[in-house]
Amino acid sequence: MSQGETFDVCIVGSGAAGGVMAKELCEGGAKVVMLEAGRKVNLGELLSHKWPYELPYRGFRGEKQEPFYQGDISNSISYKDSDDVGVDRVRILGGRTMHWNAVTLRYAARDFKEWSTQGVEEDWPLTYEELEPYYERIEQIIGVCGDDDHLEILPAGKHYLPPIPWRCSEHILKRATAAMGIPLIAVRKAVLTRPYDKRPSCHYCGHCMDGCDVASIFSTPDCMLPKARATGNFTLRENALAREILVDDEGLAQAVSFVDTATRTEQQVKARIVVVCCSTVESARLLLNSRSPRHPGGLANSSGVVGHYLHGHLGNSVSMYLEELQGNKPSNQDGATDHVYIPRYNHLSGKSDVAGGWGMQVNYQSYMFPHHAHGVRGYGAGFKRQVRKMQPGYLQMGSFAKVTANQKNFVSVDPSRLDANGIPTPVVHFRFSDNDRALWHAANQSMLEVFSHLKGTVFPSTGKAPSGFASHEVGTVRMGKDPRTSVLNSYCQARDVKNLFVTDGSCFTTSSEKNPTLTIMALSMRAADYIKDRRKRGEL
């Protein structure tokens, strides 16, 4: 990167959205520079296969996850007047694609039409049919395993890799779901079940969330960025923490100022187009910190909507120890964490008192630690024997439910509270709605109902109230039809600043119960197509 060079596009952030954008634009002939606040962590540096007793605190203090949270990212945030929520901001090349479970579910047609179908929130400014080709393309690039289950609530792709084989407990679980008349399907994950795109198949170690040390799980550094690099059009700046997007006299984006956190120097990169992909909270933070005479309330914020409509997922978890598996000889059940999935089904029974639904992920926790030991009463030889006997029966389930997008929930920045590089930090303000609480209770009850059809010991959730966002926060720079309640058009383009795009989860209008990453990538790819087209026409 030479001083004074002007790139066609500057992408801020290298996660799911930024990776797709870089690949697509570079292959389209654009000169792209990517700013990433973290650094690359080589696969060999990951601690995924470390035993607990090889870690200083046996892993109880997040030692395995340290590579994902570089610098002061964990501390540079605060919560004010908030319910029990936490936003997950990672800092590493690849963003959350380095630290995820890789469940990749398409939104259904109705998920884009909350107002039309349920009379809540707003409809998105685009339809499933418009996004469907991008889902298909993305799935083929990243490699998704699964089946076509012919479910309207969970549209399927045409090019899935073979599904992951099921565990004993999952076949047993099928009895319960069959008795309830609800589907239990093979999970759809960006995990390779056969070698694909020069990446190896999964080796079933159960450490998906600790980082995949062989790139069997999709990540941008191992899948998207090599493709971008191969074009000769790609420049990567690691340790580049964006401070502000700078504008010209007309208020258009013209450069991004950043701190090189390795050298502690202030730098700038010029670009004709800026694409923000920093994740929900950080993207809002960057825009709100980009104040200028043309944009006094923050960049692209004439509506005052930037930062607002923060939402995500409600999470909850229950576990059970199946009677018929207890006492069995222990076997290796780790696998690729989730192997099956229970799609949303509360919409099938007609009118519901709550808006939205939930899906259930199954067995996404490791089998190494006997979680039930904390719930088994007593001590001594009997206690030890009971813990050992129960462990092979482990079956765990977690629900992910939609949170309502509400204008009153927002991210602001606090100019008086700076991070280690002197950048104002974000403040989260969030309260659950009555619908959120009702949905959380309903999801919890439904998991217990599923387990009630099976024999064994159930450990219900200890949570008494909803918590969020299960690392799935979205919505602070939303797209929409109405300029008064949205920042972006359906191509993730800022209405106020035509050469500014925001394509991470912050662009979501509303949320469904599905994990957001696949939709983030599809939206980013669609935005990339739009940018390529407008560049060809000379409009950008």
* By CB under 8 A, residue 76 contacts other proteins: no
Q: How far is the CB of 68 from other proteins (least distance, A)?
A: 19
Alpha helix stretches (DSSP H) within 331-427 = 381-390
305 with 496: CB under 8 angstroms?
A: no
* By CB under 8 A, residue 146 contacts other proteins: no
Query: How many whole angstroms from its chain centre is CA 252?
Result: 29
Q: Which stretch binds other proteins (CB under 8 A): 70-78, 196-204, 260-268, 284-292?
A: 196-204
- Closest to other proteins by CB, 134 or 218: 218
Q: Which stretch binds other proteins (CB under 8 A): 111-119, 233-241, 385-393, 445-453?
A: 385-393
Q: How far is the CB of 164 from other proteins (least distance, A)?
A: 6
Residue whose C-alpha is closest to residue 530's, from 495, 492, 504, 496: 492
Cis peptide before 469 (omega within 30 of 0): yes
Phi, psi at 82, each rounded to 5°: -115, 150
* By CB under 8 A, residue 416 contacts other proteins: no
- Closest to other proteins by CB, 6 or 331: 331
* By CB under 8 A, residue 385 contacts other proteins: yes
CA distance 510 to 120: 10
CA distance 441 to 29: 50
By CB under 8 A, name the one of 199, 308, 402, 514 that touches other proteins.
Answer: 199
* By CB under 8 A, residue 215 contacts other proteins: yes
Q: From residue 135, how far is each of 141, 159, 342 by CA, in Å?
A: 10, 11, 21
CA distance 390 to 370: 9
Q: How far is the CB of 227 from other proteins (least distance, A)?
A: 17
By CB under 8 A, name the one of 3, 263, 265, 332 that touches other proteins.
Answer: 332
CA distance 144 to 157: 9
Binding residues for other proteins, total number by CB under 8 A: 65
Q: Which two tokens stand for residue 160?
A: 């899935």
CA distance 482 to 88: 29
HEC secondary structure over 246-276: EECCCCCEEEEEEEECCCCEEEEEEEEEEEE
By CB under 8 A, name the one of 90, 205, 277, 500 that touches other proteins.
Answer: 205
Binding mask 363-382 for other proteins (x = CB under 8 A): ---xxxxx--xx--xxxxx-
- Closest to other proteins by CB, 63 or 529: 63
Binding mask 165-194 for other proteins (x = CB under 8 A): xxxx-xxx-xx--x----------------
Pairing of strands 358-362, 394-402: antiparallel
* By CB under 8 A, residue 295 contacts other proteins: no
Q: From residue 100, how far is each of 114, 416, 489, 499, 518 by CA, in Å?
A: 27, 33, 28, 31, 12
* By CB under 8 A, residue 58 contacts other proteins: yes
How many residues make up the chain in this entry? 540
Q: How far is the CB of 86 from other proteins (least distance, A)?
A: 20
* By CB under 8 A, residue 338 contacts other proteins: no
Residues whose CB is less than 8 angstroms from the CB of residue 40 and which lie 6 or more positions away in sequence, other chains included: 92, 93, 94, 221, 238
Query: How many whole angstroms from its chain centre is CA 156?
Result: 19
In 10 A of CB 532, how many CB atoms? 17
Q: How far is the CB of 146 from other proteins (least distance, A)?
A: 15
* By CB under 8 A, residue 201 contacts other proteins: yes
Q: How far is the CB of 332 from other proteins (least distance, A)?
A: 4
* By CB under 8 A, residue 204 contacts other proteins: yes
Q: How far is the CB of 325 from other proteins (least distance, A)?
A: 8
Q: How far is the CB of 97 from other proteins (least distance, A)?
A: 17
Phi, psi at 523, each rounded to 5°: -65, -40
- Closest to other proteins by CB, 204 or 508: 204
Q: How far is the CB of 57 from other proteins (least distance, A)?
A: 7
Interface with other proteins (CB under 8 A): 44, 49-54, 56-60, 164-168, 170-172, 174-175, 178, 195, 198-207, 213-215, 324, 329-336, 339, 366-370, 373-374, 377-381, 383-385, 387-388, 391
